[in-house]
């Protein structure tokens, strides 16, 4: 009698747990699906609605910001319905999944596309083997651009990180005025590219003698010193350095802000301990601050190296690649969009892409080493 | 804390001045060097258009208070030009989600890359960061055709045609794609350097990854998140190309940088408009910078670990 009752209760419990399982599964799929439907409806509203601009803009902001949180929450909710062992396996992919999907569509797919194009001719109709790559390593302008890019890759990180780190450290000790000083270095980053190109025209501009007043600051200085005005941006090879000055001016703010955040994260007690032990400020900098923010320094340097490899807009606007100022990315865009040769443009892009792989491998090694310690 | 204060006070006033002056001098020199080019832009934006083209901007310095030198007309011209308020709204509707989406997506991914165990973690991370070099210009055309025709492979639709072109969503997603590699890289570096003891103890207390991420990692990463927010916002706000390609150039949808470029295009070499326009577009990014600046607080990590 008793055993029979337990049997039925076991059966009941089993039936109930099946129901709970089904409900959980329904929730696991249902919540994300509902989230997607909500997002899709608002997306359609934004696309087709005739509502006033202000309303549309507000709805867009709310949907864009809220949507991304909703998606992550819904996916995590779905995963939480699974059994605990499965959860641990699936959750990492919920976290990295959206990033990987977006990257595949927006960067991996175009990169593959480009690689295929690099083996085809100008109009991408027939395959030409390695011809485009032979061009990359034999054309005189290409070789000059490779030489110049190497220069950019050395100089830009050196100065942006050097000045940024020094400035962030110095300013960190100011009792007041830190925010103002930092924002003045940061200021160039807030100027749109059109603005920046004008700013530097007011510095480098050149008019031959007898063709009106100089409106470029450098030549204004030359004239006031009773010297001949100089055509700064035509003066090889120094014009390359002058273009790099613009990049340093623009990007030091980036390095400075990131490094400054890292310096702030160095615990106060460590710095105090070092000072109490009699370390001078210079020693505190080299022995305490620099080692504790080393990983950030490397990250910022790597970012700057990559930015320098990709640089083209400064050259494009200021010298148009004339007078020996070619760089690799500028060549790539020129072949793609000006000479309409997809094959050569793509081959140059692939060379640029391959050149960065060693840097990334070094970075991962370092991350792995760090993880081994922690 | 009290010991340090006492030590500083015990040093002589003369010595303190002597030690402080060189570093202050260095700060002032660097700041001035950085400021001079922008100063030229600022002064030019308030000068008479003809004067800008015929004399150097520094020539106003001796007679700063001469009214004939200055004018507000440039700013009036820019602000009263057609559809400027409209493009300001468009810029906001593009920039705010295009800043929040990549940072959220990147923060989740960065946490997974730093603290979760899964197959292919290291190599996926290399791939993500390696994508930093894919030049944006390279990706525009393939994505544009994905947006307008969908993606098809051997007759199978992989990417449906969503009529995304000309929508805010198209621009948000594009900016997210282009901004993600750097965001993941920077945030993974920061999140990975947080003390593992904090995360381990949260795990022992029974918190799952989602809770750890929201309750622990996000608050601890505020300085890194704040600095990246500033940059992503700046890039998107000042972007011209991505908006032009995916949103189009009609007056209804164009963003503020397009409105400015238009002004330049229709009015020839209108340096006076570009200079004043450049300053107007700078106001919001600088406001963002100032308001996020206070999150770069010393000892944030140390404090919360103790608490």
Averaged pLDDT, B271-298: 77
pLDDT greater than 50 at residue B173: yes
Closest residue of chain A to B233, computed from CA coordinates: A190
Whether residues A98 and A142 share a domain: the answer is no
CA distance B227 to B235: 13
pLDDT greater than 50 at residue A328: yes
Averaged pLDDT, B75-101: 82
Q: Is A242 on the interface with B (CB under 8 A)?
A: no
In chain B, what percentage of residues exceed pLDDT 70? 81
Q: Is B196 on the interface with A (CB under 8 A)?
A: yes
Averaged pLDDT, A162-191: 84
pLDDT at B303: 37
B10, B37, B236, best to mutate vs chain A, most A CBs in 10 Å: B37
Q: Which residue has the tokens 């103790």?
A: B306
Q: How far is B144 from chain A (nearest CA, A)?
A: 10
Whether residues A228 and A176 share a domain: the answer is yes
- pLDDT band at residue B299 using 50, 70 and 90 as cut-offs: very low
Q: How many domains does chain A have?
A: 2
CA distance B245 to A112: 21
Instruction: Write the CA distances from A170 to A282, B16, B21, B250, integer angstroms.
Output: 11, 15, 11, 48
Residue A71 lies in a domain: yes
Residue A52 lies in a domain: yes
Please tell me what DSSP assigns to residue A216. Answer: S
pLDDT at B2: 47
Whether residues A111 and A137 share a domain: the answer is no
Averaged pLDDT, B24-53: 84
Nearest by CB: B186 against A166, A258, A312: A258
Determine, for residues A99 and B168 on separate chains, whether the beta-carbon distance falls below 8 Å: no
- CB–CB of A115/A132 below 8 Å? no
- pLDDT band at residue A150 using 50, 70 and 90 as cut-offs: very high
pLDDT greater than 70 at residue B156: no
- pLDDT band at residue B254 using 50, 70 and 90 as cut-offs: confident
By three-state DSSP, how is residue A127 classified?
strand
- pLDDT band at residue B302 using 50, 70 and 90 as cut-offs: very low
Please provide the average confidence, as pLDDT, over all residues in chain A. 82
CA distance B77 to B281: 14
Most confident of A16-25, A155-164, A254-263, A325-334: A155-164
Q: How far is A64 from chain B (nearest CA, A)?
A: 5
Closest residue of chain A to B107, computed from CA coordinates: A95
Residue B75 lies in a domain: no
Averaged pLDDT, A251-263: 87
Q: Domain span at residue B266?
A: 81-306
pLDDT at A155: 94
pLDDT at B300: 43
CA distance B300 to A184: 25
Residue B58 lies in a domain: no
pLDDT greater than 50 at residue B82: yes
pLDDT greater than 80 at residue B155: no
Averaged pLDDT, B286-291: 81
- pLDDT band at residue B6 using 50, 70 and 90 as cut-offs: very low
What is the DSSP annotation of A28-88? HHHHHHHHHHHHHHHHHHHHH----HHHHHHHHHHHHHHHHHHHHHHHHHHHHTS-HHHHH
pLDDT at B169: 81
Q: How far is B187 from chain A (nearest CA, A)?
A: 10
Whether residues A135 and A282 share a domain: the answer is yes
Q: How far is Cα of residue B79 from the mean position of the Cα atoms in its chain?
A: 24
Determine, for residues A98 and B109 on separate chains, whether the beta-carbon distance falls below 8 Å: yes
pLDDT greater than 50 at residue B160: yes
Tell me the CATH number at A147.
1.10.3720.10
Question: In chain A, what residues touch B189 (CB-CB under 8 Å)?
Answer: 295-296, 299, 367
Question: In chain B, what residues touch A173 (CB-CB under 8 Å)?
Answer: 23
Q: How many domains does chain B have?
A: 1
- pLDDT band at residue A160 using 50, 70 and 90 as cut-offs: very high
pLDDT greater than 90 at residue A248: yes
Question: In chain A, what residues touch B296 (CB-CB under 8 Å)?
Answer: 257, 260-261, 264
pLDDT in tens, A281-308: 788 888 888 988 888 898 889 889 988 8
- pLDDT band at residue B159 using 50, 70 and 90 as cut-offs: low
Closest residue of chain A to B96, computed from CA coordinates: A61
Whether residues A312 and A352 share a domain: the answer is yes
Residue A125 lies in a domain: no
Whether residues A352 and A229 share a domain: the answer is yes
Hey, how many other C-beta atoms are within 10 angstroms of the C-beta on A122? 15
pLDDT at B278: 79
Residue B170 lies in a domain: yes
| ipTM score of complex | 0.78
Averaged pLDDT, A172-200: 80
Residue B65 lies in a domain: no
Residue A126 lies in a domain: no
Determine, for residues B257 and A194 on separate chains, whether the beta-carbon distance falls below 8 Å: yes
pLDDT at B268: 53
In chain A, what percentage of residues exceed pLDDT 90? 10
B57, B112, B134, B270, best to mutate vs chain A, most A CBs in 10 Å: B134
Q: How far is A9 from chain B (nearest CA, A)?
A: 32
pLDDT greater than 90 at residue A157: yes
Chain B contacts in chain A segment 85-104 (CB below 8 A): 87, 89, 91-93, 95-96, 98-100, 102-103
Q: Domain span at residue A92?
A: 2-117
Residue B147 lies in a domain: yes
Residue B50 lies in a domain: no
Closest residue of chain A to B132, computed from CA coordinates: A306
Hey, how many other C-beta atoms are within 10 angstroms of the C-beta on B59? 16
Whether residues A164 and A217 share a domain: the answer is yes
CA distance A265 to B298: 6
pLDDT at B301: 42
Averaged pLDDT, A154-174: 90
Three-class HEC string of chain B: CHHHHHHHHHCCHHHHHHHHHHHHHHHHHHHHHHHHHHHHHHHHHCECHHHHHHCCHHHHHHHCCCHHHECCHHHHHHHHCCCHHHHHHHHHHHHHHHHHHHHHHHHHHHHHHHHCCCCCHHHHHHHHHHHHHCCHHHHHHHHHHHHHHCEEECCEEEECCCCCCCCHHHHHHHHHHHHHHHHHHHHHHHHHCCCHHHHHHHHHCCCCHHHHHHHHHHHHCHHHHHHHHHHHHHHHHHCCHHHHHHHCCCCCCCCHHHHHHHHHHHCCCCHHHHHHHHHHHHHHHHHHHHHHHCCCCCCHHHHHHHC
Closest residue of chain A to B118, computed from CA coordinates: A92
Whether residues A113 and A139 share a domain: the answer is no
Structure tokens at A15: 């039936």
Tell me the CATH number at B164.
1.10.3720.10
Residue B218 lies in a domain: yes
- Taken as a whole, chain B contains a residue count of 307
- Tell me the backbone φ, ψ of residue B230, rounded to 5 degrees: -55, -50
Averaged pLDDT, A146-166: 93
Whether residues A111 and A250 share a domain: the answer is no
Q: Higher pLDDT residue, A374 or B202?
A: B202
Residue A352 lies in a domain: yes
Determine, for residues A173 and B261 on separate chains, whether the beta-carbon distance falls below 8 Å: no
Taking only Cα atoms into account, the Rg of chain A, rounded to an integer number of angstroms, comes to: 29
Residue A339 lies in a domain: yes
Q: Which of the listed residues A86, A117, A148 is the one where a domain comes to its end?
A: A117
Whether residues A40 and A169 share a domain: the answer is no
Question: In chain A, what residues touch B100 (CB-CB under 8 Å)?
Answer: 64-65, 68
pLDDT in tens, B179-205: 898 899 888 888 887 878 888 888 888
Please provide the average confidence, as pLDDT, over all residues in chain B. 77
Residue B238 lies in a domain: yes
B94, B125, B133, B210, best to mutate vs chain A, most A CBs in 10 Å: B133
- CB–CB of B125/B188 below 8 Å? yes
Residue A123 lies in a domain: no
Residue A122 lies in a domain: no
Q: Higher pLDDT residue, A364 or B88?
A: B88
- CB–CB of B33/B25 below 8 Å? no
């Amino acid at each position: 009698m008793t055993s029979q009752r337990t049997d039925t209760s076991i059966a009941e419990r089993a039936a109930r747990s099946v129901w709970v399982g089904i409900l959980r599964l329904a929730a696991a799929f249902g919540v994300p699906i509902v989230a997607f439907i909500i997002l899709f409806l608002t997306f359609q509203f934004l696309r087709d609605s005739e509502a006033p601009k202000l309303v549309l803009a507000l709805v867009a902001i709310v949907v864009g910001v809220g949507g991304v949180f909703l998606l992550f929450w819904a996916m995590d909710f779905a995963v939480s319905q699974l059994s605990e062992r499965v959860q641990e396996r699936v959750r990492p992919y919920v976290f990295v999944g959206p990033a990987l999907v977006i990257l595949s569509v927006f960067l991996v797919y175009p990169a593959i596309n480009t690689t295929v194009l690099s083996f085809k001719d100008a109009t991408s109709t027939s395959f030409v083997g390695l011809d485009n790559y032979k061009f990359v390593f034999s054309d005189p302008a290409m070789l000059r651009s490779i030489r110049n890019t190497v220069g950019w890759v050395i100089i830009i990180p050196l100065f942006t990180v050097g000045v940024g780190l020094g400035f962030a450290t110095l300013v960190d000790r100011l009792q007041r005025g830190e925010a103002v000083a930092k924002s003045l270095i940061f200021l160039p980053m807030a100027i749109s590219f059109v603005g920046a190109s004008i700013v530097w025209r007011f510095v480098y501009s050149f008019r031959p003698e007898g063709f009106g007043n100089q409106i470029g600051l450098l030549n204004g200085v030359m004239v006031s010193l009773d010297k001949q005005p100089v055509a700064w941006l035509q003066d090889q090879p120094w014009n390359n350095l002058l273009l790099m000055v613009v990049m340093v001016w623009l990007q030091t703010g980036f390095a400075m802000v990131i490094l400054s955040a890292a310096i702030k994260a160095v615990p106060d007690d460590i710095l105090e301990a070092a000072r109490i032990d009699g370390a001078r400020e210079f020693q505190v900098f080299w022995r305490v601050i620099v080692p504790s923010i080393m990983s950030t320094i490397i990250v910022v340097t790597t970012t700057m190296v990559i930015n320098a490899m990709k640089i083209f807009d400064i050259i494009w606007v200021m010298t148009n690649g004339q007078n020996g100022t070619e760089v690799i990315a500028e060549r790539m865009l020129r072949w793609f969009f000006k000479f309409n040769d997809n094959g050569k443009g793509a081959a140059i892009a692939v060379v640029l892409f391959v050149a960065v792989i060693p840097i990334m491998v070094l970075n991962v090694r370092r991350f792995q080493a760090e993880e081994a310690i922690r | 804390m009290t010991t340090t204060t006492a030590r500083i006070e015990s040093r002589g006033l003369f010595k303190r001045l002597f030690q402080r002056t060189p570093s202050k001098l260095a700060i002032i020199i660097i700041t001035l060097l950085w400021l001079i080019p922008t100063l030229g832009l600022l002064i030019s934006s308030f000068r008479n258009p003809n004067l800008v083209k015929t004399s150097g901007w520094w020539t106003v310095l001796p007679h700063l208070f001469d009214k004939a030198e200055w004018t507000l007309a440039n700013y009036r011209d820019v602000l009263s030009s057609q559809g400027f308020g409209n493009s300001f709204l468009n810029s906001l509707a593009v920039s705010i989600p295009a800043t929040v989406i990549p940072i959220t997506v990147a923060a989740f991914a960065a946490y997974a890359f730093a603290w979760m165990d899964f197959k292919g973690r290291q190599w996926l991370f290399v791939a993500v960061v390696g994508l930093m070099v894919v030049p944006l210009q390279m990706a525009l055309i393939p994505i544009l055709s994905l947006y307008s025709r969908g993606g098809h492979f051997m007759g199978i639709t992989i990417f449906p045609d969503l009529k995304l072109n000309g929508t805010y969503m198209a621009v948000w997603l594009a900016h997210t794609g282009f901004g993600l590699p750097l965001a993941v890289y920077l945030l993974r570096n920061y999140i990975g350097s947080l003390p593992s003891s904090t995360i381990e103890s949260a795990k022992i207390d029974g918190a799952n990854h989602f809770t750890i991420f929201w309750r622990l990692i996000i608050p601890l990463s505020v300085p890194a998140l704040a600095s990246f927010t500033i940059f992503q916002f700046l890039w998107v706000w000042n972007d011209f190309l991505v908006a032009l390609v995916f949103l189009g150039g009609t007056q209804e949808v164009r963003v503020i940088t397009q409105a400015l470029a238009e002004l330049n295009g229709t009015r020839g070499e209108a340096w006076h408009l570009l200079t004043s326009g450049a300053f107007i577009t700078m106001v919001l990014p600088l406001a963002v910078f100032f308001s996020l600046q206070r999150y770069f607080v010393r000892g944030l990590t140390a404090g919360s670990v103790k608490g």
